[in-house]
Amino acid sequence: MNKKITVLPGDGIGPEIVAEAIKVLDRVAEKFDHSFDYTYVDIGGCSIDKFGTPITDEGMEKCKSADSVLLGAVGGPKWDTCPPAIRPEKALLAVRKELGLFANLRPTRLFPQLADASPLKKEIVGNGIDLLIVRELTGGVYFGERRTEEVNGELVATDIMPYSEHEIERIGRVAFETAMKRGKKLASVDKANVLDTSRLWRKTMHRLAEEYPEVEYSDILVDNTAMQLIKNPTQFDVLVTENMFGDILSDEASMLTGSIGMMPSASLSSGTLGMYEPIHGSAPDIAGMNIANPIGTILSAAMMLRYSFDMAAEADAIEAAVNAVLDEGCRTGDIMQEGMKKTSCSEMGDLVAERI
């Protein structure tokens, strides 16, 4: 099978970690008789430096014409003074909008080998954490109307948080379908005791729940969710929520694993096109030092195979290889433990690729 992948290495450690994911994908192609064609596009700060814009029209078209997109990371202090309209992060919002990427899947998995790295006690994490947050990505307060105006002699800022039934229904279906493929358990996160958008969210989710009687469904308020993620994270399988709540909760959940460098993500459209990236930033302070953790990016590539290319066996092979390398005691600096073997970014990519 031949697939076209547009690669967006980006800034900071982005090129380093993406190179290791490509190394692993090439091994998968060799092992399973596939071919992956890569097209590289500048995005973020490096694109601003070259072209004066965080992503060019040509680059965007290459994203649209691909079977999938693999992203490293964008941004850094170098571009903090750029005008808001051309900040590196604007490219991510543009890609999400142009590709229709409305569903963000953020798994949080605490590998048993790294249980000591979690900030939670062992009696809380048990045999490991394995949950998935499904975040609506193109609606809500981040995309609503915003304004700042003077009222009675002082500035007043307003941000509008709109949601329509169809936006809620489509992300809800993604969540239910995902739950059907996992533990058939879904919690919908809202603030229905305060917000009209959340009351519409809950009403729509209840209607959808009738179509999925096999899924154990529940509602949970966002503030309680934040507490329960710390108190008892193993109670959750799939969580679904709107854009801002999902942004905050997924970052909280990621730290349950002890390192944000381990966490992949997928942003999906209504078709098979998706963008896959680790959830961490560009870490410019360690760029070029070959010490970044590429596992989050490698696991993002596995998600690409699973969700966009329907290559479940290939995705399983990558995840098994990561487990094998961790079993052997290999650790990048962010997950280093006493008695383990300190491993560079490129060495980690080599080791995972060799074990597929």
How far is residue 184's CA from residue 214's CA, in Å, rounded to a whole number? 7
Per-residue DSSP letters for 285-349? GGTTSS-S--HHHHHHHHHHHHHTS--HHHHHHHHHHHHHHHHTTEE-GGG--TTSEE--HHHHH
Which is the catalytic residue, given 130, 219, 251, 350? 251
How far is residue 316's CA from residue 327's CA, in Å, rounded to a whole number? 16
Asked if 251 is an active-site residue, the reply is yes
Asked if 191 is an active-site residue, the reply is yes
Asked if 217 is an active-site residue, the reply is no
Which is the catalytic residue, given 40, 184, 191, 219? 191
β-bridge pairing 68-73 and 2-10:
parallel
Which is the catalytic residue, given 38, 64, 130, 142? 142
Largest CA distance in the chain: 69
Per-residue DSSP letters for 228-293? HHHH-GGG-SEEEE-HHHHHHHHHHHHGGGS-GGG-EEEEE-SSS-EEEEESS---GGGTTSS-S-
Among candidate residues 114, 15, 129, 29, the one with its CA nearest the CA of residue 325? 114
Q: Are 167 and 135 in contact (CB under 8 A)?
A: no
Element (H or E) spanning 222, and its range?
Answer: helix 222-231
Which is the catalytic residue, given 42, 67, 247, 334? 247
Which is the catalytic residue, given 49, 223, 310, 327? 223
∠ CA(123), CA(128), CA(131), 5° rounding? 120
Q: Which residues are the active-site residues?
A: 142, 191, 223, 247, 251
